[in-house]
Structure 1
Amino acid sequence: MLPRPALDQSIPAFSKETSEYVLLAWCTLGEKCISDCDAQFSLLPPGSALMAQLVRRGPLPQLVSEGVELRYIAPPGHEHPSGQVDFWKYAKSLVGKELPADTSAKGLTPSGVMHLVEGQALFMANGIPALPYRDDGVIDPVDTRRVLALGLSAVHAPRAVREVRRLIRNTRPEVAHVHNVFPLISPAVYRVLAEEGVPVVQTLHNVRFLCPNGLFYTRGAICERCKWGNTLHAVRWRCYRNSVTASALYALSIGVHRRRGTFAGITRAIALTPFTAQKMVESRLFRADQLDVLGNFIPDPLPEARPAPPVHGYVAFLGRLSEEKGAHLLIEAARRLPDVPFRLAGDGPQREALERMARGLPNVELTGKISPDRRWEFLCGAALVVIPSTVYEPFSLAALEAMVCGVPVIAARLGGLPYLVQDGVQGHLFTPGSAAELAERIRDVLGDPAGAHHMGQAGRRLVEERFTASHHLEGLMQIYGKAMTEEVRR
């Protein structure tokens, strides 16, 4: 028999001075399903009951049942009980009906939402499919479940809704331009604006309306599981800051409002590149004729473009040092190009790992975060700039900043980057994640100084023609005009 794992008896952090709520949860029946190690032997159908109450602390404590949702979360390794017992194979003869795998006779799954008992401030989940086995077969008779109380301000923020309604009635705007509603305002603001007859323009800075972490990226890989509306995938994978709680909060808010049709209150949406627009149409959240493409811009006055490439330039990276930004690919490329200097400017959670990777590589320097006033000097001193992201970039200000300085850009052929960097025009594209191909593209640019200079000039022209403040303002005014015209027609 495999040994039983140690029981996690840690208690969530609680402060008697600052904690506003106490969440009480208990199991009335215990693990009632299996009494033997034999997968064919079961006394009762797999099922267990959880109850919980949320108490608001104070001189007169109050039980809370409104404006909150309680969820129970299976511990890691307990998501698939049907793999350990044969109950689901014989469910029809045992309980009179076929059951989906990992679903109890009462319709519950290993993780889910607790329902409020009518007439009581009591939440219950009766019939959770719980087994004294982990998914890998290890005996674990106390598979401790977590119960989370999620405040619904991210779903509907009453105070924010009231303030927005008051602002509208006091100012009577012709159009409302919304950038971000998570988590404090909530998407409920779109209904308020629609009810007050105000057309809404929404800038889509990321894909947050489709993905709780806004990136289409989790566990080191591209992920579009939630694009079609089932945002609960994010809870399982802890997609938002590796937190079950935070992931559940965003998943709930986005999922609820997609089902309610709240986003239909948006008159027009601005995608930063055609890539984001395409994803929105694929998801059916927006129609193609609702979307405009308008990228970010470089503020006036534009910095001076360098007159010529530096004689001793370096390969530059400027950005956050995190896994999805792909800075590790530059260090791998640097190993293949020992005579080429590389400088990585920025900070982030991957910095220590990158410093370890760079040990023994005299051609690699991690400069740390540089101040805004040194940014242009850093970019102008580069032979080229690399944008090696392994995640869909909806846009890239780093690419624009390099191009406005007249520096060629090598970017991953991913997300919105190919819409900014045309292969062979403003720089080169490479296959995402391929350090070998990246090294080849770097070698190509450095081996053709005249061609690199022409690419840098093409990048500068692109910024001047499409990504200045005046161009952005002109585009915004056109979009506002469309939104107001369409609102009148409704």
Structure 2
Amino acid sequence: MRIAMVSEHASPLAALGGVDAGGQNVYVARLSEELARRGHDVTVYTRRDAADLPDRVALPGGAVVEHVPAGPAAPVPKDELFPHMPAFGAWLARAWARERPDVVHAHFWMSGLASRIGAHPHGVPVVQTFHALGTVKRRHQGRLDTSPPERVGVERQIGRGCARVLATCTDEVHELADMGVPPGQVSVVPCGVDAGHFRPGAAPGGVPARRARHRLLACGRLVPRKGYDQAVRALARIPDTELLIAGGPPAGLLDEDPEAQRLRRLARSAGVADRVRMLGAVDPAAMPALIGSADLVLCTPVYEPFGIVPLEAMACGVPVVATDVGGHRDSVADGVTGRLVAPQDPGAVAAVVRELLGHDALRRRQGAAGRERVLAHYTWRRVADGVQQVHHQVLAGHAQQKEVA
């Protein structure tokens, strides 16, 4: 099968940890690699954001990344990319006239728009993964939402008009239904994690030495919606415990980062500055050992479309305390692989953390159960199985429609 992956802002080649580089980049990279290893011809189309990038770059496993000229050959915040999508789509239409894909898989709403423009002249079916929905973002961020005003309307059109929406969690199915996308047009396939890389017992080289009896870890993109402030506030009620925050720019640039500055001010006002350490960007190779050094991993966003960090923690055998939102409701088995707590309630976070830190055997059981859950449901092999099945179903349905026509 010839598969075109379209990911306009989230290149599988990008360094993780930046404001616009996170779970979607990992998802596109690993899914493309896994599908290519199965013999599919996979090309990932992403926007050229530097003049010196090669036209094509090979990924491990045989997939290829192709850089699409759309807008300036320079970094552009994703919320400012919308005006360049017609050019992106027109370029795809020309490329696919030369070599037509069997199926297009679009990632994020702007990729869906570009994919529709590119695929329509050639009658190619489009599968859409939103990764995040504008309705949810607008609900939680209100006036702080920097998305283009067209986003919600375009998402609604894409969801209703594509061949299939591939949601990453059951919570998204309900959100899509509220947008008018019939549940029968939606398939649920979760995100995944590299359970070979993220595993218990990773070599501890480079992990910071403990400064307290217990260690909590929070990691991911350093942006307000990730809710690190909730973890900092909770720490004030958790004695003899340190909090490590991994993510954002390199450590040497944290002093210039607005969110790092905000969290440091909060830590000082909460009286826990001496127990909060911000690590900045951490080498992905070092993340399993860092996760494994923690007693608990905290994932406390206000909302989370899916959330890969809980999977990484569970794969490493570390229990998770996560807010009861979005994809966390699917991935974290409450009371089995960790605990779910109400969002924006640092008191609830603190109470659960204190309980778990007081029961070593319980944490070990939950950590082991998390590893088992990942191996059963969340490896990239499992994810690729589900996506491949959806692609085949879409192709079969498309062929039947052509026969009827």
The TM-score with structure 1 as length reference comes to 0.57
SS at match of 1:341: strand
SS at match of 2:295: strand
Structure showing greater Rg: 1
Tell me the residue number matched to 1:303: 198
Q: CA deviation at 1:218?
A: 1.4
Conservation of the 8 A alpha-carbon contact between 1:393 and 1:414: yes
Answering whether residue 384 of structure 2 is matched by residue 384 of structure 1, we say: no
Q: Aligned letter for 2:171? A: F
- Aligned in 2, Cα 1:343/1:159: closer, same or farther, shift over 3 Å? closer
Tell me the residue number matched to 1:289: 184
Answering whether residue 247 of structure 2 is matched by residue 335 of structure 1, we say: no
User: Which residue of the other structure, out of 78, 81, 100, is the alignment partner of 1:172?
Assistant: 100
Q: Per-residue CA shift, 1:396-417, capped at 9, x if unaligned?
A: 1111111110000000112221
- Aligned in 2, Cα 1:282/1:457: closer, same or farther, shift over 3 Å? same
Q: CA deviation at 1:333?
A: 1.5
CA–CA separation in structure 1 for the residues paired with 2:361 and 2:297:
16
Q: CA deviation at 1:476?
A: 1.4
- Aligned in 2, Cα 1:364/1:468: closer, same or farther, shift over 3 Å? same
Farther off after superposition, 190-199 or 401-410: 190-199
Q: What are the within-5 Å matches in structure 2 for residues 73-222 of structure 1? A: 154=82, 157-180=85-108, 182=110, 187=113, 189-190=115-116, 192-208=118-134, 210=135, 214=137, 216-219=139-142
Answering whether residue 351 of structure 2 is matched by residue 440 of structure 1, we say: yes
User: Which residue of the other structure, out of 286, 308, 314, is the alignment partner of 1:397?
Assistant: 308
Q: CA deviation at 1:341?
A: 2.3
SS at match of 2:149: helix
Conservation of the 8 A alpha-carbon contact between 2:198 and 2:288: yes
Tell me the residue number matched to 1:106: none
Q: CA deviation at 1:274?
A: 0.8
Higher RCO (CA 8 Å, separation ≥ 6 residues): 2
CA–CA separation in structure 1 for the residues paired with 2:84 and 2:281:
38
Answering whether residue 283 of structure 2 is matched by residue 371 of structure 1, we say: yes
Conservation of the 8 A alpha-carbon contact between 1:179 and 1:203: yes
SS at match of 2:241: coil
CA–CA separation in structure 2 for the residues paired with 1:295 and 1:365:
32
SS at match of 2:150: helix
Conservation of the 8 A alpha-carbon contact between 1:326 and 1:389: yes
- Sequence identity (%): 28
Conservation of the 8 A alpha-carbon contact between 2:91 and 2:118: no
Q: Aligned letter for 2:237? A: R
- Aligned in 2, Cα 1:408/1:371: closer, same or farther, shift over 3 Å? same
- Any stretches of 5+ residues in structure 2 without a counterpart? 1-79, 203-209, 249-256
Q: Per-residue CA shift, 1:364-413, capped at 9, x if unaligned?
A: 333333222221111000000010111x2111111111111000000011
- Any stretches of 5+ residues in structure 1 without a counterpart? 1-151, 220-236, 241-246
Conservation of the 8 A alpha-carbon contact between 2:92 and 2:115: yes
**Cα RMSD for the two superposed structures:** 2.7
Q: Aligned letter for 2:88? A: A
The structure with the largest helix share of the pair is 2
Conservation of the 8 A alpha-carbon contact between 2:127 and 2:166: yes
Conservation of the 8 A alpha-carbon contact between 1:175 and 1:480: yes
- Aligned in 2, Cα 1:442/1:302: closer, same or farther, shift over 3 Å? same
Q: What are the within-5 Å matches in structure 2 for residues 458-469 of structure 1? A: 458-469=369-380
Q: Report how many aligned residue pairs link the two structures.
A: 303
Conservation of the 8 A alpha-carbon contact between 2:93 and 2:121: no
Tell me the residue number matched to 1:457: 368
The TM-score with structure 2 as length reference comes to 0.68
